[in-house]
Amino acid sequence: MTFVLPANFRQLPPVWEMAQPFRVDNTGAIAFDLDPERWAINHILAILLTNPGERVMRPSYGVGIYRYVWENDDPLEEQHMIAAINSQVATYEPNITLTKVEFTRPFHPNYTGVVQLEISFTVGNSPTTYTFDVALNGSQVEITA
């Protein structure tokens, strides 16, 4: 059995992630991302948007954030969701450390039912903290990074 290495194998950086969406770069190799924020957000979103039981080989993987879209505005349900997010990221993404997972609500008189989930994290040993928001309302989940 022979194993053929790609021509640019030695040019790969020490930390890399395939580009999302998948594509081939101008050299004919698989495109990759060097930005740790971008690939970490992709991994966290995969955990948030995957329903438990959806992945065959990892039945406990995922939080299933879509099922919370129709839930009542309940602090106990929010704490359950925060605990699930922290647990899943700690289990399946040990290189990502969540520093803050918090629900916020817009402060205006005509409250529309939109709840913001603010997630802050670090990647590896880097001291840089990255943040992105996930908006949950009665019909959709919207990500703002």
Write down the pLDDT at residue 142: 72
Dump pLDDT digits (tens) for 107-131: 655 666 677 889 999 988 888 899 9
> Distance of CA 46 to CAs 1, 65, 77, 88, 135, Å?
35, 10, 21, 11, 16
Domains of the chain: 15-144 (3.10.450.40)
Return the pLDDT at 2.
52
Give the pLDDT confidence score for residue 78 in this predicted structure. Answer: 86
Who wins on pLDDT, 133 or 137?
A: 133
Provide the pLDDT confidence category of residue 139 given band limits of 50, 70 and 90.
low
Q: What is the mean pLDDT of residues 65-88?
A: 85
Please indicate, yes or no, whether the overall pTM of this predicted structure exceeds 0.85. no
Report the 10 Å Cβ neighbour count for 88: 21
The rounded mean pLDDT for the chain is: 80
